[in-house]
Amino acid sequence: MNDTIAAISSAGGPIGLIRASGEQAIQAVDTIFRAKNGKRMLDAPGQKLVYGTLHDKNGKMIDCCYAVVFHAPHTYTGESMAELQCHGSTAVLQQALDALFAQGVRQAEAGEFTRRAFLNGKLGLSEAEAVHDLITARTAEAAQNAVAQMMGAVGSPVQQMREELIGMVAHFHAVVDFPDEDIDPILFDDAAALLHRTTSRLYAMAESYERGRILREGVPCVILGRPNAGKSTLLNTLLGRERAIVTDIPGTTRDLIEENVKVGQLLLRVTDTAGLRDTTDPIEQAGIDRAMAEASASALILAVFDGSQPIGDEDMLVLARAAGHRAIAVVNKVDLPQQLDEKLLKKHFLHIVPLSAKTGTGMDKLLSLIPRTIGLGDGAFDGALITNARQAAALARAAERCEAALYAAQSGMTPDAVVMDAEGAIAALGEITGETVTEAVVSRIFSDFCVGK
């Protein structure tokens, strides 16, 4: 039997939510809550708000609030649960929690409610991981993807593929282990067709992780350019407010400035950098070195050039750094007479956007180009994008083992060879659904959650 846990499940705001789960959850709330209708919470119907007052162990009133009970097993955790909807101050919520603790309830650990839901079979592991994604989503699209995964967008197809492989392996075992029984013979062509289908599906899912991670974490994006090209102005225009210091003194931005910018469906994690130029100032040089390193690690470079000047030596540093990277050339200051010859830029960049960071001209074009350059231009975020590194690794392993089983089936190897690799794929898929995952991995996954979920 599990002990009863409770935690504050809301973050700030005028109303605060306390949740309790476990055998004693309803009993504990019944003891500290007096319903206005005079009835006991022990007798209250499930999922119905009851108004009343909350009291500490000495009977002192803490709050007037709502209580609600949920009867096992039809609850989030699968256990008896109760919730208190209190006024949201920390003082009230902490006293309410203490009143529950006085009834033998203990503080829930990080993610313990969802962990119990998983252990009680209410959620698969990939669905539980999606709960975390949903809570931490930073864009509507990331949330959309996460909620679809919480409803099984990853877990269901993985479970289905796993069951098909288990069916195939069971048949192979039956034929090999009971040669005298009247069992349908192994049809290697059918097995190969199943393995082929499954292999391609698994690779496609594993490969979606690159885009899924960008959706969840945002696109690391660096603004590079020589001093005074207009990098800080561009960052400020992207942000719609003054963040970086804009001056006409070269070398003003010496360190990295990082900001999150929402561009359509994307979150850009933009870093403004020290202008690239030859300098004898060691502090400025350190900033330039960091800019170069940051650019290597970024998914997108916005290379800013001053359109009112001819291309100079310092711009060459930018061209060199952007080579081989996903990059957009921004020809800034189009509001001034233009001196920059775009021919050279065309040799180095697929995308060139003339704009004025100062007036905003051309910004729309830049904003529409960014998602396309990243490869996230279109997309319904229906949960199809894998956003979780653990799941992506397990999918890739499953795909490789499935492909090996396919090779064995096609090349006329013994059934044993097919079975061995197919079983490897089944185990890897079980790590995603939670069937074959170790206790240590489960603990690590839920320790990333916040307390109260």
Residue 282 makes CB contacts below 8 A (sequence gap 6+) with: none
Among residues 453, 380, 370, 378, which one has the least CA distance to residue 144? 380
Q: Is 228 in the site for ligand GDP (CB under 6 A)?
A: yes
Shortest distance (Å) from residue 359 CB to ligand GDP: 6
Among 22, 52, 218, 230, binds ligand GDP (CB under 6 A): 230
124 vs 230, beta carbon nearer ligand GDP: 230
Determine the size of the site formed for ligand GDP (CB under 6 A): 21
Token pair 């729309």 is found at: 364
Give phi and psi for 322, each to the nearest 5: -80, -15
User: Quick count: other Cβ atoms within 10 Å of Cβ 375?
Assistant: 13
CB of 76 to ligand GDP, least distance (A): 50
Residue closer to ligand GDP by CB (options 145, 236) is: 236
Among 225, 287, 371, 430, binds ligand GDP (CB under 6 A): 225
Helix (H) or strand (E) holding 304: strand 300-306
In the list 52, 212, 227, 383, the residue contacting ligand GDP (rule: CB under 6 A) is 227
Return the SS3 of 425: helix
Residue 286 CB contacts under 8 Å (≥ 6 apart), including other chains = 254
- How far CA 88 is from CA of 10, 12, 50, in Å, comes to 8, 7, 18
CB of 265 to ligand GDP, least distance (A): 27
Residue the block writes with tokens 């509001």: 335
Asked whether position 356 contacts ligand GDP by CB under 6 A, the answer is yes
Tell me: does residue 27 bind ligand GDP (CB under 6 A): no
Sequence-distant (≥ 6) Cβ neighbours of residue 296 within 8 angstroms: none
- Choose the binding region for ligand GDP from 29-37, 205-213, 227-235, 337-345 (rule: CB under 6 A): 227-235
Instruction: Name the nearest CA neighbour of 354 among 317, 328, 377, 315.
Output: 328
Stretch of 12-20, 72-80, 310-318, 354-362 contacting ligand GDP, by CB under 6 A = 354-362
Rounded to a whole number of angstroms, the minimum distance from the CB of residue 246 to ligand GDP is 4
Closest approach of ligand GDP to the CB of residue 241, in Å: 14
* Least distance to ligand GDP, CB of residue 255, Å: 12
Q: Does 339 bind ligand GDP (CB under 6 A)?
A: no
Closest approach, Cβ 61 to ligand GDP, in A, equals 59
Q: What DSSP assignment string belongs to 316-375?
A: HHHHHHHTTS-EEEEEE-TTSPP---HHHHHHH-SEEEE--TTT-TTHHHHHHHHHHHHT
| Cα 107 to Cα 119: distance, rounded to the nearest angstrom | 19
Residues 368-373: contacts with CB under 8 Å, at least 24 apart: 368/264, 369/328, 370/219, 370/221, 370/263, 370/264, 370/266, 370/268, 370/300, 370/328, 371/263, 371/264, 371/265, 371/266, 373/300, 373/326, 373/327, 373/328
Residue 246 sits in the site that holds ligand GDP (CB under 6 A):
yes
Contact between 87 and ligand GDP by CB under 6 A: the answer reads no
Could you say which of 181, 182, 248, 278 contacts ligand GDP (CB under 6 A)? Answer: 248
* Near ligand GDP in 256-315, by CB under 6 A: 275
Closest contact distance (angstroms) between CB of 310 and ligand GDP is 16
Judged by CB under 6 A, the stretch of 54-62, 228-236, 263-271, 379-387 that binds ligand GDP is 228-236
* 233 is a contact residue toward ligand GDP (CB under 6 A): yes
Find tokens 């400020």 and name the residue. Answer: 236
User: Quick one: which segment of 144-152, 214-222, 293-301, 327-335 binds ligand GDP (CB under 6 A)?
Assistant: 327-335
Residue 229 near ligand GDP by CB under 6 A: yes
Give the binding site for ligand GDP (CB under 6 A).
225, 227-233, 246-248, 252-253, 275, 332-333, 335-336, 356-358
